[in-house]
Structure 1
Amino acid sequence: MIRPKLSLRRPLAVLGAVLLGLTGAAAVAAPASAHHTTITATAACDQLSGERVITWKVENSEVNKDATIRKVTASPATPVTVAVEGAGTKPLDQVVIAQGSFVEAVQRVPGDTAKATLKVKAAWYKDNKTQRAENEGSINLSADEPCKPAPTCVDASKAKYSHTFDGPKGTATVKLDGNLPLCGDTKQYFTLVSYFAPRPQFATPQYVYGTPDSDFVGGNQTEIELNVEIPNCHTQVDLIWGDKDKVIDPLVEGGKRYDNLKLGSPGAPGNRSTGPQGWYNGGDKSCTTPASTFASNCDGTVTVSLSNDGKISKYPVEFEVKGENGFSKKVTVEPGKANNDTVVPAESAGKIEVLVDGKVIEGGTYSWQRPEDCPLPTVTTEADCENFTLTASNPEGGLPVKVEFSYDGKTETRTVAAGKSESVTFKAGKAETALVALPDLELEMEAVYAPEGDCGGGGGGGEEPGLPVTGAAAGGIAAGALALLAIGAVLFVVARRRRVRFTA
């Protein structure tokens, strides 16, 4: 009988994707007789399957006799095979080991196997008889990490990211690190949000501006871009871990905070993304629109209207209204509201300023101006051959008015309070007219001295009815009004710093 010899001197390659981190050689049992097999082993991890791949090297101790493998016992009890060139594989117990040679057999065991053993019974034909021997080899795998399949995706709870962030521009990107997608249908959301803020540093309350931008990493999408609008005032911008449900609106004193949800934070989950800090505070103007208007009153006071109702008015505004002589009043106006209750007294209305945060707001300066519809003082006269009496009356609701009465080279000055009258009596002289001037209003008028009757024979006089002082105020065009009385020749002419005399 011819026994075929298998040429197995070339080490056999282990099929599949196998890592070459080898363990130590297996222990070899002492031979039971002069004939024996020597068994050693190495192991590697197949990261595709997660199995340990053990390569058993079985050597024939005889240099001039072939060894026929009769029985193989493996623990764990998985197949032990030998690659045959051109013929695939065959079980180890069907192999003949050529004299002085060896075979390499492959066994796949679970990835968490701690120890594997291999018993081999072999037979030699020598001296016209068959001789048998059994030997055992083993390999200790307990010191190695368990073999696991190489991942094809990354678990969302362990995924790492990197990000960019530009707070002033309201842009950010988030990218999944590595080459593996998230496992299954998992989606990890990230959100970019901007706020109205009361200060360019962190302060509350804050209100969401526009619409937060939210997107996810998952499936084939491994990188996202986020963009939000930034208000044209103080703002805060945050890049947070999670979807829009995580957005806090408003951010208030003592309320919830994003803390480590912000990407780039020192703690989880924000620290699972590398990049700059994902938050920004800035803006160079207040998120309010303070405004003021003014209305002069006839009594010299000024009513100041304050409003806080512009497009970006999100916060109360504390106005300060200041006037001359130490006048100051602070008024807080809520967003979207106005206040019309501030009245600056006449003695302080010469210069008015409206301030916010210590600065005069745009259009916030004013001085009292006499309204065009304010009633003017009136003058009445009484003339006889002995006296010429002039009386000035100031209507209710106006300012005190200074009146200068001049006749026949003499001048008397009176200040007439609102709702009061003042009279001046001159001795009748040769002058035909008297001048009544209101210097504060830049108004003048002439009254003709025309007593009733013939003063040569002793005549009487009469009181003329009241006549209004009318005409242009300072800076106006000279104007006047003519009132010719039916009884008595008293005429009042009003002009700007000039006198026009009319005669009846």
Structure 2
Amino acid sequence: MNRLKSPYRHVMAVTASTLIGIAGALTLASPASAHHSVVKVTAECDTAAGEWITTWTVNSYAPEGVHNYRFTKADAASVVNGTATPFTIAGIAVSESGVYPHPVSTPVVGKARLAGDATEASLTVKAQWDNEWNEKDDSSASIKFSESCDKVATPPPAAANPKATVTADCDGDVAVTLENGAEATKDAAFTVTGTDGFNKTATVAAGKDTTITVPARNAAKITVTEAGQKAPIFDAKPAEAKDCVAPGEPTGSIKMTCDALIFQVENPKDGKTVTVTLTPNKGDAQTLVVKPGETKTATFKAVEGLTVTPRADGLDDSSPIEWEKPAKCTGPSPSAPPAGGGAGGPALPKTGAPAGLIAGGAAALLAAGAVLFVVARRRRVRFTA
């Protein structure tokens, strides 16, 4: 009996074989396709260093229930002038057997610096998962550089190079010398502050300097700042001057005449200016400003009861000096009534020791001592002119 020849047999056979092939392929390929790695790379030019910064990313994929994996291969190479040279990538390296440091589906990212004249670079990896499945084929990525990465010199930002030198003199005044180094690339903006509101500013060009003087009364503490600096350049009480030589001391004297009270102040050449104000109880005050090397006098017309009070800035106490008529003066004291026993009567004879002479001499000595004290004390406390 002849069997019918169906036109679909061959088709059915082909279809069946195809289905069998697909099923076999799925059976054989599913684990492999489920376990695989994907490598990517990017690069940027670091012009400050003249190097390529390459960033390599590896993503791993595996079936559910597989948690970690390791690299069994991690080969990286770059090409410079036609020669391939291996390089390492931080974080992407072969792990020892049995150790699976990388979580599945979490990217592993590593960076590597390459020469600026590199023309290409590549990374090839293989993975093994913690179910002991080994990646069959290599996974890789490469990059080609169309141009070199050249170093570009970037000038540093403009900056001052400030410095301050603080020096006190023997009078307590302080010289603050402000400098800006020759290598500075911008002006230095200084501010100098002292006590009691002292404040001055100065702008100093590169390689230049200037000096600000802080008076002694403002120099208990000095602060020097510069606009580009976070901390003060100087912030303290200045050190006292050393090896100071005391100036010469002035001398004073008094002369009492029959019609005047005379004060004299003599200042040596190595002294300092002395200022003494003499105020009488009758008449106008006189002020003596005596510079080094000078001698000056003040004369007051003598009258009965005349006193003169010497004063100087900063002197806490000074006593009046009273004019006493010298014994040699035979006439009556100015404005005093005439001596004798009455109008037209004879004068009484003088007997006994010359009391007036003794008293007058003693008073003159006391007065001279008082003036000397005033002048000398004023020098010691350094009153200004």
TM-score, normalized by length of structure 1? 0.31
Q: TM-score, normalised by structure 2?
A: 0.37
Higher helix residue share: 2
> Greater share of strand residues, 1 or 2?
1
Higher relative contact order, chain-length normalized (CA < 8 Å, sep 6+) = 2
